[in-house]
Structure 1
Amino acid sequence: MAAKTRGILHPAEQSRYVELTQHAPSAPLEAYVEHYWHVRWSVDGVYESKVLSHPNVHLASEPEGVLVYGVTRALFTRKLEGDGHVLGVKFRPGAFRYFSGAPVSTLTDRRVPAAEFFGPQADALGRAVQATADPAEAASLAEAFLLPRIPPRPDPDALRAAGLVARFTAEPALFRVSDAAATAGLSVRALQRLFSEYVGASPKWVLRRARLHEVAARADTAAAPIDWPALATELGYADQPHLIRDFTAATGHTPTRYTRP
């Protein structure tokens, strides 16, 4: 499958140091896994990879071990040095609730050894992944690891949460939680409880992050200067300064500074 780079800051620059490949899950795992991702890097010195994370939990087999990453609300920064690779499982929003045994919000902004959820077999998976140089084989190892661990049928509330996140992120101009709740046919409090239990981020954060992803994507692909006031209006910001403040707080750069080579 073609690699999706939405959320990666300066993806063209990163591609000079990092090779990203993604693989779709098999049919039995489609309700749980969005895709498997594999990054391989070769860096002379240090390169900082920066990502505006999505509302997903990840299982990552890294050189240092196997970790579960909850939703990361701040800018995710990873310093890459030398050569290495990581295989990740991007779970669908809501899907990790079954494995966590607790509200997914308990994992927010945390990374936890995968053995706490999957036992010592998680460490064996990590060793097997690090022993292969083939991204497809690494994805197959993760697939074989997860298949016997999924429940007989998906949780309907997890599927509902995933569907709502997909809808909200596909409509970056949807920016009021009250409107999002009405779209979902839920009260604001019920929507907030659903997202705390299954997603690990609030509806407000998901809506805001979708807008920031859109701003970054426009900045990364623009062939001509961007009309920032028009974009602010399109995405539901009160005005251009509001967009600037939001983007700067999330990335550390103003939108115009971000677009400079």
Structure 2
Amino acid sequence: MTNYYFPKGMRPSTLKERLAFYAEEFRLDKVAEWFKGRKDKIQFAVIIGRHTKIYLKEYAEDFSTTIIIDDYEDLNDVKNQIIEFLPEGVYYDRNIYDDDGEVVGQELAFDLDPENITCPIHGSLEDKMQRNQGLSFCELEFQMIKDQTVSLYEYLEGLFSKLKIVYSGRGFHIHVFDDDAYQLKFKDREAIAKDVKVKGFPIDTWVTTGDMRLIRLPYSLNGLVSRIVIPLSKSEMKDFDPTEDPRCIPDFAKRSILH
């Protein structure tokens, strides 16, 4: 595996640890609550081991492939398929589909990752990429992206009324649930992304424009850093510390911390 650096206690999870999390801790009730109001059949996706290079041997040919989960009975069935793959990451499709499978809308989102911050210690994203550490981040970079997320949230409050922040395991996502936002055309999302970028916010523009329609599933495990993806309110952001907050630390990592 590439020699990434992360804040203290963060590390890739093993296959055994992924199994323990999804079998014992994965909160399907919380996942169902997240999708409350969605009437279409949601598509899910997994990436087995693209970044960690940790995967079941039977998936050696597909470890870096994005595998779509769209044939399932219910969320329990989705959970069982996740356990079959034991992936490093689980995602959902932000597109809204009609009964014929045609796209009729998309959830608007903003993705802020700490590696996009230029760090006075570790340099720019380009510097990190040259060292094959593009997904690495330190405590300072995390604090900086957390501050940027709050600032962007406050800016977006002037444009939208239904916003949610999600800690992604590394950085943050801001989801927009206004009805009108679902109907934005590509050019509209592109204009919003450009506006936000020009204002200095380090977003991944292809997420906001909709080119990348998948986004990490809340309450799933980010297997690259062994942290649970959790929603947070703006008021919780100030003191949020993923190295210590028990809400985002899976049981197997808590045991490691204690020992």
TM-score for the superposition, normalised by structure 2: 0.28
Larger CA Rg, structure 1 vs 2: 1
Question: If each structure's helix is expressed as a fraction of its own residues, which one has the higher value?
Answer: 1
Where relative contact order (Cα < 8 A, 6+ residues apart) is larger, the structure is: 2
